[in-house]
Amino acid sequence: MFWPEFRSTGLSSDLWREMDRLQQEMDRLFSGLSPTYARSFPAVNIWEGEGDAVVTTELPGVDPDKIDLSVRGDMLTIAGVRDAEPLKEGEAYHRQERRHGQFVRTVKLPFRVDESGIEASFERGILSIRLPRHRDEMPKRIPIKTT
């Protein structure tokens, strides 16, 4: 990688801090233009069991009534809105890094889902979704004949 080799030249840590700050500012400025940046919220964890998959995502500050979930085949879509924090009269932001507004995230699941058995819960800002595997997608045991 370029950065570790470049860092070994002994440039000061202040320069690296400033470069990191500049990178964050560039990310912020171009976030509205980059589809990959927009897709990264909300971040998800997905794990698979024998009969289901579980998806969790952090949605701090989001009203659960403003979250929409939908499944089509093996695609899960999480959409919603996080409202901006209201400022009192005379207040102004010094720094604003937490995003607000609408979001949509679509992820491919490891199998087709039985839509009738989906369960979702929201606790302390964490959305958890249990997605049962469609019956046709369940692993089938194949008997081995011996002679």
pTM passes above 0.75: no
Rounded distance, CA 94 to CA 91, Å? Answer: 9
The pLDDT, as a whole number, for residue 13 is: 62
Total domain count, the chain: 2
* Mean per-residue pLDDT of the chain: 82
Output the six-digit token pair for 97.
């890094």
Helix (H, G, I), strand (E, B) or coil at 144: coil
Question: What are the residues facing 100 on neighbouring strands?
Answer: none
> Does 36 fall in a domain?
no
- For the segment 39-98, what is each residue's pLDDT rounded down to a tens digit? 578 999 999 988 899 999 999 989 999 999 999 988 999 999 998 888 899 988 888 888
> Does 142 fall in a domain?
no
Are both 121 and 78 inside the same structural domain?
Answer: yes
Q: Which residue range forms the structural domain that includes residue 25?
A: 1-30
Are both 16 and 82 inside the same structural domain?
Answer: no
Are both 51 and 117 inside the same structural domain?
Answer: yes
The H or E element spanning position 132 is: strand 126-132
Are both 79 and 26 inside the same structural domain?
Answer: no
Are both 21 and 47 inside the same structural domain?
Answer: no
Are both 19 and 68 inside the same structural domain?
Answer: no
| Domain CATH code at residue 94 | 2.60.40.790
Rounded distance, CA 78 to CA 76, Å? Answer: 7
Rounded distance, CA 94 to CA 135, Å? Answer: 53
